[in-house]
Amino acid sequence: MESPQAENPAIEATTEPQDGAAEEQQTESEAEAPEFSSVAVPEIVVQWNQDLAPTLRDGIVVHGSLDRSELLEKLPSLWPTVDAALARVGPGTLVTESLRHDVYEGWQVVALPRYDLEGSIEPRDRRDGAPQPRDRRALVQALVDAVGERPCLDLRDALNMLDVFAGIFPPGLDAVCRRLLGHDLRLGLAASMAPVHEALERRAAGRVSVTCYLESAVGSRKAKGDPATDNEDAAGSLRDPSGTVRCAVFDGVTGDADGSGAKASRAALEQARRGWEVNADPSPRELVAELDAAVSRATKGSAAAVLATVRPDGTASVVSVGDAEAWLVRPLRTSQRYSEPRVPAQGRDLPYVAWKLTPAHTGYADHLRVNPDAEGEESSLVAFLGGGPGRWTHNTVALAPGDLLLLASDGATQQERERWFGAVLAELVAQFDASGRPPAPALAAALVQRAEALGGWDNATALVCAIGEAKDV
């Protein structure tokens, strides 16, 4: 097995020098050491009893031991190794470089125990085997570090990257990392993470049904009293004879109070409907080009867009341009019937999980690709319909009965301070389900109401597709 150079001095593998070299090294060390210092700091040499595999990032980027797209499906086999490491040396012993992967040997976890002054491993309070905050941060940073275009700086950088590059990173990585940070892990990682991995891997066993619910409203602080132009969002859906459902949300970009944003979003929706009515199924590239051309013909304005095509076999094609977003909300427990209300558990153990499906095409996102200290207006678009989109993303998503697929303008997905929007979605759906309210229409209405409660700074549009089991005709 290859033994790469360690990136962190704390986990550097070293070998013992020969006897003569050891005596010479000891003599030099004694000569340089002061006779007395008010602060005494020992020099510690760490020796590993085996070769170290490459760090997870090096394994993916340099050695190709694991493909980025395969990371999530390999994680269930990592967690038992992490559990074993923490059980052996205690919690609080992981760093970002602790996660390692070899193409032949698989996962390796390098744990750094604390030693007492006699060189023995210091007993640690294992707290039922639950990782400490340090361990949780290290795991999240290691996972994001492995899939990012650049190394991850710290936890704040990791969370920013998860949000901005969703849809580029492996889908569902944000849900995994948020569970690592926020869930009660006393049962160990293998048991605690299993429900999320099961949810991420779930697929429809047969044909699915799709029902769409739409809510849209003008933000009170953006309203100018003109119903024709105040709401610059446009959205709609259509079901074709085959059962395929196509839906879209367009968010017009505010111009010089000339209504160009509203014209842009409506022109895009009209073009989309024309394509839907003739049952056209263009490639994502052709679709974006047609929408962009329609907007350019209609106005000098522009619009962000997110579109989804949901087919009866449960596959969904999602295309996005700009900062309009798509999210998937999925129940964690498959043993319960979808028609029965679920009562949320206490604390953060919610019966739903959510993850983001689309990235952000903004100036801030472009800066964040190369600079962890990126700053800038997150709503400044670098890709949009009208004048050439330049950039767009396309993802294929596997849906299952019980899912809620959300398409929304950025006004409806406004972030709350220190609160992840995926957690907001999971909590809202759990509350509706527990109270007996249909989650899909309730979620669409709640997101619009929430946008107004947060200040009403922007128009808010939410289109929610409820996925169920298709009934035999």
Check which CATH number belongs to the domain holding 15 and give it: 1.10.510
Query: What does each C-alpha distance from 229 to 44, 253, 324, 379 come to in angstroms?
Result: 68, 11, 19, 20
Q: What per-residue confidence (pLDDT) applies to 45?
A: 78
Q: Are residues 52 and 174 in the same domain?
A: yes
Does 112 fall in a domain? yes
Q: Which of 162, 177, 201 is the last residue of a domain?
A: 201
Instruction: Tell how far CA 421 is from the center of its chain.
Output: 11
Does 387 fall in a domain? yes
Rounded to whole angstroms, how far apart are CA atoms 221 and 453?
Answer: 11
Q: Are residues 158 and 266 in the same domain?
A: no
Q: What per-residue confidence (pLDDT) applies to 10?
A: 44
Does 37 fall in a domain? no
Q: Are residues 244 and 362 in the same domain?
A: yes
Q: Are residues 304 and 431 in the same domain?
A: yes
Domain region containing 85: 9-30+43-201
Q: Are residues 17 and 86 in the same domain?
A: yes
Q: Are residues 322 and 432 in the same domain?
A: yes
Q: What per-residue confidence (pLDDT) applies to 11?
A: 47
Q: Which of 155, 184, 201 is the last residue of a domain?
A: 201
Question: Residue 430 sits in a domain of what CATH number?
Answer: 3.60.40.10
In this structure, what DSSP letter does residue 97 have? Answer: G
Q: Which of 178, 201, 224 is the last residue of a domain?
A: 201
Domain count, the chain: 2
| Matching residue, tokens 């610059």 | 232
Q: Are residues 196 and 212 in the same domain?
A: no
Q: Are residues 236 and 216 in the same domain?
A: yes
**Six-digit token string for 299:** 């106005």
Residue 147 dihedral angles phi and psi, to the nearest 5°:
-110, -10
Q: What per-residue confidence (pLDDT) applies to 200?
A: 97
Does 4 fall in a domain? no
**Given the DSSP bridges, would you call strands 352-356 and 460-469 parallel, antiparallel or unpaired?**
unpaired
Does 217 fall in a domain? yes
Rounded to whole angstroms, how far apart are CA atoms 62 and 103?
Answer: 12
Residue 307 dihedral angles phi and psi, to the nearest 5°:
-130, 150
Contacts of 472 (CB under 8 A, 6+ apart): none
**Six-digit token string for 219:** 């933000």
Q: Are residues 352 and 448 in the same domain?
A: yes
Q: Are residues 222 and 87 in the same domain?
A: no
Q: What per-residue confidence (pLDDT) applies to 320?
A: 98
Does 60 fall in a domain? yes
Q: Are residues 372 and 410 in the same domain?
A: yes
Q: What per-residue confidence (pLDDT) applies to 44?
A: 73
Q: Are residues 213 and 304 in the same domain?
A: yes
Does 1 fall in a domain? no
Q: What angle do CA 431, 437, 438 make, to 5 degrees?
A: 110
Q: What per-residue confidence (pLDDT) applies to 101?
A: 95
**Local confidence pLDDT in tens for the 473 residues of the chain:** 443 444 444 444 444 444 554 455 555 555 566 678 788 887 777 788 889 999 999 999 999 999 999 999 999 999 999 999 998 888 889 999 999 999 999 999 999 887 766 667 776 665 556 789 999 999 999 999 999 999 999 999 999 999 999 999 999 999 999 999 999 898 899 999 999 999 999 999 999 999 999 999 999 988 888 877 889 999 999 999 999 999 999 999 976 667 899 999 999 999 999 999 987 789 999 999 999 999 999 999 999 999 999 999 999 999 999 999 999 999 997 434 333 344 444 345 789 999 999 999 999 999 999 999 987 666 689 999 998 777 899 999 999 999 999 999 999 999 888 899 999 999 999 999 999 999 999 999 999 999 999 999 999 999 999 999 998 64
Does 137 fall in a domain? yes
Q: What per-residue confidence (pLDDT) applies to 124?
A: 65
Q: What per-residue confidence (pLDDT) applies to 196?
A: 97
